[in-house]
Every structure is written in structure tokens, then in C-alpha cells.
Chains A and B, each alone.
Chain A
Amino acid sequence: MRRGLPLNNSRALSKMMLPFALLTLVACSGDVGPSADSEQAASQAQQLLATGAAGDGKQLYAACAACHGAKAEGNKALAAPSLRNQQDWYLRRQLQAYRSGVRGSHEKDAYGMQMQAIAKTLPDDAAVDAVVAYISGLGKKAAEATLTGNAKRGADYYSNLCGACHGPAAEGNDILQAPALAGVDDWYLQRQYEHFQQGIRGASEDDKYGYQMAMMANTLPSTEVLKDVLVYTQSLAR
């Protein structure tokens, strides 16, 4: 098995892709750390949750809306993903993981650290459940596809590897606790995959499911193939 993400410069195709790669670089420049806007929104959210008494899900969500959007549709500029196509059990698990520090503790996971601080201000499990229920109540809405790649090759890799847990239509599998990928922001999934690969997420065995994903995060041979897979899973979004 090849490890890491060797850049495949030999192909004419990747030259054609160069403009896209540059775009991605620009877009990802925020990956160094959250922008001032993002920091501000995050601290507002914290204050809102800290001052307000535990309300219903809708009131709680007001704190999330600053980054994730009024309808949980996400905000790429703030690097906050859409929550609409993420299952309720997965949102709950992640919020609890942030609260317990299993997620968002790695120093290079700047957005995760923001989320951890916010999640910890949720007063109790009931508040977590309430906000998750509110988000789920908004219904599914697929995030916009932003990557380009070879969907056919992506389907090949997806069905041979990823689909074993994430399901034939990237719809997720609750028995295996593997989240849906279809309709979740592709740029967010790319960042998470790379975090798994780099040991920023899922490095500890305390994070059982994250650790599982980290073990799989060397099975795709290159960034190109990762994008191919994400183009494919986005094509399955409903």
C-alpha cells in the first residue's frame, strides 16, 4: 500500500487541473487557522450559550447559526460545514466528542478547537439532544459540490473501500456508526480525511470510530483520488 499523498504531476490531466488546484489553495489558506470573522462568531456563540438559560433546540441553535448558517446550510467562508445531511446520531456523537475533548483537542485542529469550546458551553445532554433534534427537523439538503475530478475512478475506489462502511449510496450506516457522506460539504470531507491521515483527528484509540477512520485514511493513493471519491459521493447526494 502506498502511503501519504504523492502528487501525481506526470499526467497531463493534472496540468489541466492546475487552476483548480490554485483555487483550492486560496480557499484552504484559511486552513492555517480560523479567520477573524470565524473567531468572532465562535466567541459570540460561546457567550450566547453561556449567558442564556438552556432553551429549546431552536434557541440553542441560534448560537450555531453564526457559523453554520440560519438553516444549518453551512458557510464555506467560515469553514463551517452544512449540517443538513449529517444524521442526528452522528451530530450527537460529534457534539459529545467535542464536549468530552475526544475531538477538537489536537493543536493543529483549529476549527475543532473552536467547536470544542462552543460545545462545552452546552449545559447538558438534554441541550445536545435538543439542538440536534432542531437541526434534524430542518430536513435534508445536499451541500453544493465544489470539487472536480473523475467520478468514474472515484466510484471504483469508493465501492471497493469506503462503501464497505459508508454504504452503497454514501448514505451512512448506523449499525457501523459510519456517517453519511453524500450531501455533506466536499471541502469539509476533504479536510477531515486529511486530518485523519495526518493524525490530527482519530489518533487516539479513545476516539473509537475516529480511530477506525484514521486506519482507513491511507487507503486512497493520492489527493486526486480523494477528490475523485468526493466528486462521486457528491453525485449521490439527495
Chain B
Amino acid sequence: MVRAMHWLVIALSLVAGMHSAWAADIPVKEGESIQAAVNRAAPGDVVLIHPGEYRESVYVDKDNITLRGVVVDGEWPVLEGEGKRNDAILYSGNNFTVEWLTIKHFKGNAIMGQAGNNYTIRYNRVIDTGVYGIFPQFGKNGLIEYNVLSGIEDAAIYVGMCDNVVVRHNEVFDNVAGIEIENTRHAIVENNYAHNNTAGLLVFITPGLPIKTTYDVILRNNFVVNNNTENFGAPGSIVAKVPKGIGVVIMAADEVVVEGNIISGNQTAGIVITDLAFVTDIASDPDSEPNPDRIEILDNLMFDNGADPVADVKAAMMTQFKRRGPDILANFGSAQEPDNCILNKEQYVTFGLKKWSKCERTSTADIETYLLADGAPPREIENDEDRTLRLYQGICAGCHAYNMRMIGPPTVAIQALYHNNAKGIADYIAEPHKVRPDYPPMPGQGHLSEEIRQKVAEFMLNVKK
């Protein structure tokens, strides 16, 4: 009997293994379409993109697909948006990998995940590409590593509404926000080089989104240097309100550990801990607690921060008879309360840390990763309701918050404009046209069926917070 079981197991594993044995490499050469290859691909396949220029947007909606650039003699495959395409790569499948691509001149996103779990985004170069560079949205268990991104007018790497994410070994520069962890739980940001952005690393809550919290985030062993670039975010957007010259911003997030970073040359402040009042007075989401709580600043190397602070920070420092900005600024909300802690406080120029306690732990070395050893199960989609929710959270909420401006207009304004007219939304999003001079054009969602567009529109009209 045992022997029979043994053979059964071997036979089963052979069957299981056959799938990967049959997984195909699908080559794409210059002049051919990546999307056509993706359309042909079966789960497990690898699309091999050879050097050359590809002028298209690619949408991956199946599981277990890898897009892999082939770099030959320093020649990379380049996705070129020509300043007119919105996204280079959108994926909604699970277990997606994208690597070894150069992405340039798209208007919206270089790589955007829409509710796909278990993603790997690595070895990519993203240049002058719109609003977000790498933007996994509403995905569980993701690794973002060895990417180089510059010239992004919002966040170069924006992890939005995700869980269990590791962001490491990336270089982000000349962006408004370097790496942004927003409405996300269990994230490690380590060994990155964030320089010459408006702000380097940001851990946020944006109110009015479906996921309401940010907590358990470790920022460790990063270089966060000279983030003094003028803010060039779209006027009126939330990120456009971030003052320049900040290394690390912790806004409204809880349980953030800052350890082992080199934070220097940021002219307003090294680290800012604050509530939402830092960027807006609108913080009326009843489920988003606006205070930063239980922040831990362990040992970091900080110097030369605050040489030329923005006016608000300068005014705060004047109350302490200092003209320079601080290494660490705790202001607004509960940022000054003793549930926050620090080690070796006396080393730094600080503001608002009088009541902070001394941290009990000295290191996070015991925490190796937040990636899940067995991956995350795919999101359960059993009915249209699940599908609609996933679409809203995975796509719409990337740009539309309930009662504040993100990338798109607030949901309340859309509800007013389209009251009782879900079909109006469903039709518009299939083929959007520019309506507002100061908002980027909305990317079309024509790849979604009319029925599902109608359902997601109805869902949007009923969002309450």
C-alpha cells in the first residue's frame, strides 16, 4: 500500500511537472507586438522581448506570465510611450513577473498592477514616465527590486493598498516622491538609494480609499540623500503639496520603523512625522485614523539636514531659536506623544520629540522578510460582486479617492455628475476624453466588457467613504 502511494505521488508530480516542462518561451522581436505574444501565451509561459523599440501598451490579464527583456551587448528592449500612451504595462493576473525592460515617455504608469497577487518587478529602467513608475495596486505579496526610476511627477515606486511587500535595491531620483508606501501593511523598504527627489521615502495614509490603514513598515539601510528637487507634481494633487527637501515622510501611518539609513543633505528635514494636516485639512474619512502612532526611530546616520527649510518648518524651528531645519521633525496630531520612540535622540537636531520614549528594541535584524513563503492565494472571484470589487479597488481607486483629489477627481464629484447615470460612466470610461484642463486624461478602460463597466460604475455611485 505504501509502495502504491509512493508511485502515485511520483506519477502526480510528473503530471504537475509536465506543465512547467511545456511552458513555452515566446520570443518577440522588434517590429512584432508584445501584446500579440501575451495573447498567445498560456499560464507559465515566458515572453522574451528582444532589443528594439516597442510602441504599445501591454495588458496582461492571465496568471503566471513573465515578461522578460533580453539585453544583448547593452542593447535593451525599450517600450516607448511617445508622450501619448498612458501605460506601458498593466497586469491583473497573479504570479506576474516583469524584468529587464526600459520604459520611457508614457503619460500614466510604467508598470501598474491591478489586484494581481505574487508579483515580481525587477531590473527595469523607467525614464520620464508620467504619474507613477512602478505601481502595484491592491496586490498581496510582491517584490520590487533592482529598478532605476527617474523623472516621475508623482511617486517613482508607489505601493498602494498592498500587503506583504519588499522594495529593495532600487535607485529613485529626480522624481517628486521617491518610494511611497500608501495604505499598505507589512512592507520592508531596504537598501534603496533615494536621491534628488522632492521627498525620498514616504509612508502615508491617503483617506477616502477602500483600504484605510498603513502599518508595520520597516525602512532600513537606505541612502536618503539630497532630496531637494522643486515639487513638479500636478498642481492641486496631494503630492504637489509635499514640501521639498525631506528625506523621509511618515504621515498618519502607524508602526513604522526607521533603522540604519543614511539620511543627509535634505534641506527641510531628515525625517518628518506628522498627521494629515501636513498636506491637507481634509481628513474626514471616519475610518482613516489620521495620527502617526508607535513610530520607532532606531539608529540612523543623519547629518546636514535642514540647511534651508521651507517657511513652515523654519517658523516652527524659530520657536526653539533655531534657523536650521531638524534631522527629525514631529509635528501635528499625535506625532509628539510618548508612544513613539527613538534611540540616541541626543545625536540629532530634533523638533517635537521631548516626550518620545526610548525604544526597547535596537534592531529589526530578526525580521528577514515580509514576503510570504508559500505566496498568497489568488483573490477569490466567485461572482460578479467579487469581480466588481476587485476592479474598483484594483483600478479605479488608484486615482479616485472619496472626497479628495488624487490623480482623478474625487468620487463625490463623480457621483454628483453622474447621479442615476451609471451608464454615463460606463460609456465614458470606455473612451474617455479630456474634460478638465488641470487633470491628466483618464486612461481608457475599453478592454473591460460593457457589462462589467456598468457594474463597476454602479459600484462607484454607491461608494460612501
Q: List 7 additional A-B contacts (Cβ < 8 Å) besides A164-B439, A176-B417.
A: A156-B282, A161-B412, A163-B438, A167-B438, A168-B236, A176-B436, A205-B419
* B433 nearest CB across to chain A (Å): 9
A211 touches B412 (CB 8 A): no
Contacts known (A1-B465, A176-B435); A164 close to B413, Cβ less than 8 A:
yes
- Nearest residue (CB) in A for B433 is A175
Partner of B413 from the list A156, A161, A205, A221 (CB cut-off 8 Å) is A161
Binary contact readout B386-427 vs A (1 if CB under 8 angstroms, 0 otherwise): 000000000000000001110001101101110110000000
Q: Interface size bucket, A side?
A: 20 to 34
Docked complex: A114-171 residues within 8 A CB-CB of B: 153, 156-157, 159-161, 163-165, 167-168
If over half of A's interface residues share one DSSP class (helix, strand or loop), that class is named, otherwise mixed; here it is: helix
- Nearest residue (CB) in B for A157 is B282
A160 touches B405 (CB 8 A): yes
Determine the distance from Cα of A104 to Cα of B405 in the docked complex, in whole angstroms.
33
Report chain A residues within 8 Å CB of B280: 156, 160
Contacts known (A157-B282, A211-B419, A215-B415); A164 close to B235, Cβ less than 8 A:
no
Binary contact readout A182-215 vs B (1 if CB under 8 angstroms, 0 otherwise): 0000000000000000000000010000011101
Partner of A167 from the list B413, B419, B436 (CB cut-off 8 Å) is B436
Determine the distance from Cα of A175 to Cα of B432 in the docked complex, in whole angstroms.
13
Determine the distance from Cα of A159 to Cα of B409 in the docked complex, in whole angstroms.
10
A75 contacts the other chain (Cβ, under 8 Å)? no
Interface size for B (C-beta < 8 A) is 24
Report chain B residues within 8 Å CB of A211: 419
Determine the distance from Cα of A155 to Cα of B155 in the docked complex, in whole angstroms.
23
Interface residues in chain A, defined as those with a beta carbon under 8 Å from any beta carbon in chain B: 1-2, 153, 156-157, 159-161, 163-165, 167-168, 173, 175-176, 205, 211-213, 215-216, 219, 221
Contacts known (A165-B417, A168-B438); A160 close to B284, Cβ less than 8 A:
no
Report chain B residues within 8 Å CB of A213: 416
Partner of A163 from the list B236, B403, B416 (CB cut-off 8 Å) is B236
Determine the distance from Cα of A205 to Cα of B416 in the docked complex, in whole angstroms.
11
B235 touches A157 (CB 8 A): no
Report chain A residues within 8 Å CB of B382: none
Contacts known (A165-B417, A168-B235, A216-B413); A173 close to B435, Cβ less than 8 A:
yes
* B269 nearest CB across to chain A (Å): 21
Contacts known (A165-B417, A176-B417, A216-B416); A1 close to B403, Cβ less than 8 A:
yes
* A155 nearest CB across to chain B (Å): 9
Q: List 12 A-B contacts (CB under 8 A).
A: A2-B284, A156-B280, A159-B235, A161-B412, A163-B405, A164-B410, A164-B413, A167-B436, A173-B436, A176-B436, A215-B419, A216-B412
B282 touches A160 (CB 8 A): yes
A160 touches B404 (CB 8 A): yes
- Nearest residue (CB) in B for A228 is B281
- Nearest residue (CB) in B for A214 is B416
B437 contacts the other chain (Cβ, under 8 Å)? yes
Report chain A residues within 8 Å CB of B405: 159-161, 163-164
Report chain A residues within 8 Å CB of B419: 205, 211-212, 215
Report chain B residues within 8 Å CB of A156: 280-282
Determine the distance from Cα of A2 to Cα of B286 in the docked complex, in whole angstroms.
10
Determine the distance from Cα of A236 to Cα of B283 in the docked complex, in whole angstroms.
25
Q: Which of B403, B410, B436, B439 has the most CB of A within 10 A?
A: B436
